[in-house]
Amino acid sequence: MDELVFHFATSVIKGVPQMKAEFANIYPAHLTHPYSAQAGEKTKQYPLGLFDTNETKTADMIQLLRDLQSKYVPLQDDHIVESVFFGGDRLTDERVQCAQQSVLNGETAESRLEGFISKIEDFHRLMNFLEAICRLTYSTDSGGDRGTACYFRNLLDARNVKGDVKNAYRPYKLLYYTILDAMCIVLFFKKFNRNADEEIPLPIDFEKFSSNDKISWLNGISREIVQEYFFESQNDIMHDLREIITDISHPENYYLSNLENDRVQCHFCPKSYAYVGSLKAHEEKVHGAKTPILKPSNEKVKDELGDHCRLLFKLALLHKNLDSAVDMADGHRSVRSAKYELPIYVKTNKTKYAIGSIHLVSLTEGVLNGEQKERLIANRCVNLQGGKNNNMALDEYVELLNRDSKVVCSGFQTKESILRHSKEFPHIVNFVKHFDSVCNVTTRKGFHHLPSYAEDVQKIVTQLFDIDAFTFVEGRKLKCKSLCTNKNIFNDCFKGFATLVHRHKPLVAFHRLGNKHI
């Protein structure tokens, strides 16, 4: 809650001149967390260079992990003293775990490659989370529906917002953050029953308030708005998930309630099956039994536009929360965010990232010991320039380094030469980027004009006020039927969730690849 309130208040300060005058110099820019003292420290780099390995070949991955394990994992008498985390995108994570799974029959922990614990990193989480959000809230068919993301894209002439999210992540992110800031401003004015061109009534003697009292007043107002429009006055937005996990008689657990020896048992005869789908077909064909249907908890949507706008507000705010957690190196918030991503991944059928979210949460809440848990949470970012809000996800930096290294290594004509000089590439890239400062070149070489972010926000604010987006108007419809119009997105998101978790239950600790025979 506190993080969402912070982002809401920050958007209001940035977009409302009256609030900017009062709070710009006193409202904190950094949310304090256990790693704040280290968040602003510049990262030291120790490049390992490139490796002659084909990731698509399991044998090559096994050999690579063995080489890295012998060099960087502390061993004593063939015993692993301390395992090391091995991060990457979802595909790298899967390939590392496939390599480990291929050597599970090894006699020692070293031969089983247990020196590495695979994990997914935050940049690819951000990108896939935004992709899932766009599946629910963005469609090119909705350009004529006022209040939708595509309509605002056309309004702002954001022509770089096109195609797949993975190929235009930053333009999509900027569009959604612009919409989010506008929505926060509209909700803030709506709280005081004011229009965007009117003054916000401040408390009596507000100018005599201390800085802390002023911040408390703004946070209090923001908290009430977030409670109403994000949480919908619910005490537990994960109620459905908790019921599925804790209640074996829940309809979602119907087929797993008779689980025995990793096989699902028929409710009417002694037969058992490895796959839930096979059992379902058997019971329907032989016994005429139907699967218990979980009735949706929400009623028919009466205001499609209003509910869609609320959904857009919620999801954009969640993405902003994870993004700022990375910027501020707040590992605890980054890991917590996986719990809120999970329902969205399940809803949009992004199975591998749903399992990745479960894996990340389980590692930090029971699987790892205290020291390993602390390392996993604390070491998720890199800081290249110093400053508390200038952190970058580890995998994002690797992606940038890979891109620049391809340019640097173009002068080396053979594979052997590229591998031999690869440890130098990060230093060369860093030198080139700071060449002007090294040579004391300080004159401006050109100008780069960006569209006015404030003007774009105001355009959307005007539109949201004009359509009265956050006031219930019965009967409002969206022409585009592919957009999600359920504002309570966390309800009814877990269809098939219990079966999904069972199918991907790992064979050993730290792994997330499931048993293929289940």
Contact 120, 88 (CB under 8 A): yes
* Pair 175, 153: CB distance under 8 Å: yes
Is it the case that residue 466 has pLDDT exceeding 80? yes
The 3-state DSSP class for residue 343 equals helix
Q: Model confidence at 94, in pLDDT bands (50, 70, 90)? A: confident
Domain boundaries, given as residue ranges, for the chain: 243-297
Burial class (CB in 10 A: 0-12, 13-18, 19+), 440: exposed
**Cα angle value 354/265/271 (rounded, 5°):** 135
Contact status, residue 149 vs residue 179, Cβ threshold 8 Å: yes
CB 353 within 8 A of CB 345: yes
- Tell me the whole-structure pTM to 2 decimals: 0.85
Q: How far is CA 240 from CA 236, 260, 294, 360, 440, in A?
A: 9, 25, 11, 20, 60
Query: Which amino acid is located at 175 in the chain?
Result: L
Contact between residue 61 and residue 43 where contact means Cβ atoms under 8 Å apart: no
Retrieve residue 488's tokens: 């309570």
165-187: pLDDT as tens digits: 888 889 899 999 999 999 999 89
Q: What burial letters (b/e) apply to 25-46, b meaning 16+ CB within 10 Å? A: eebeebbebebeeebbeeeeee
Whole-number average pLDDT of the chain: 82
CB 56 within 8 Å of CB 25: no
Rounded Cα gap, residues 266 and 66, in angstroms: 45
| Side chain identity at residue 504, one-letter code | H
pLDDT digits (tens, 9 = 90+) for 15-71: 888 888 888 888 888 888 888 888 888 888 777 878 888 888 888 889 888 888 888
pLDDT tens per residue across span 386-431 = 788 888 888 888 888 888 777 777 776 787 888 887 777 777 777 7
Residue 482 has a pLDDT of 83
